[in-house]
C-alpha cells in the first residue's frame, strides 16, 4: 500500500511519499532498513537468510555500525551535497 499525498505548492503539485525514509546518515540508513524489514513482517534472521548473510550483519546495519564501503558512500553523497531516500518499489518516482 502506497501512502502518497499531493500538496498544491504555487503552480506545482508536490507528491509526498509518506512511506519514504531519508538515508543520509548511518542511523537514518539503519532506521530505514528496520522500518521496511518490519513492515514486511521479517525478522533480522529471516532477512539474513534471504540475503545469505549472518543475522549480525543486519543488526549491525540497523544499529548504524557500517562497513567502510557504506560509510564511504554516505560521505560521497554528503560531499556532493546530495541525498538519498528509500521508499517502496511501488511508489511512483517524481
Give me the chain's average pLDDT, please. 76
| Structural domains of the chain sorted by starting position, each given as residue range(s) with its CATH number in brackets | 23-87 (1.10.260.40)
- DSSP three-state, residue 89: coil
CA distances from 82 to 16, 23, 62 (A): 18, 11, 22
pTM exceeds cut of 0.85: no
Residue 38 pLDDT > 50? yes
C-alpha cell at 14: 508536490
Handedness of CA 61, 65, 67, 71 (dihedral sign): positive
* Top-confidence residue, 86 or 28: 28
Only one residue has cell 548504524, namely 64
Given pLDDT bands bounded at 50, 70 and 90, which one contains residue 8?
very low
Does the pLDDT value for residue 6 go beyond 60? no
Amino acid at each position: 500500500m502506497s501512502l502518497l499525498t499531493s500538496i498544491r505548492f504555487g503552480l506545482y503539485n508536490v507528491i509526498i511519499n509518506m512511506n519514504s525514509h531519508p538515508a543520509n546518515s548511518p542511523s537514518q540508513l539503519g532506521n530505514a532498513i528496520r522500518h521496511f524489514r518490519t513492515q514486511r513482517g521479517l525478522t533480522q534472521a529471516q532477512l539474513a537468510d534471504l540475503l545469505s548473510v549472518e543475522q549480525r550483519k543486519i543488526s549491525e546495519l540497523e544499529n548504524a555500525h557500517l562497513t567502510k564501503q557504506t560509510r564511504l558512500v554516505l560521505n560521497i553523497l554528503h560531499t556532493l551535497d546530495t541525498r538519498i531516500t528509500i521508499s517502496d518499489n511501488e511508489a511512483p518516482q517524481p
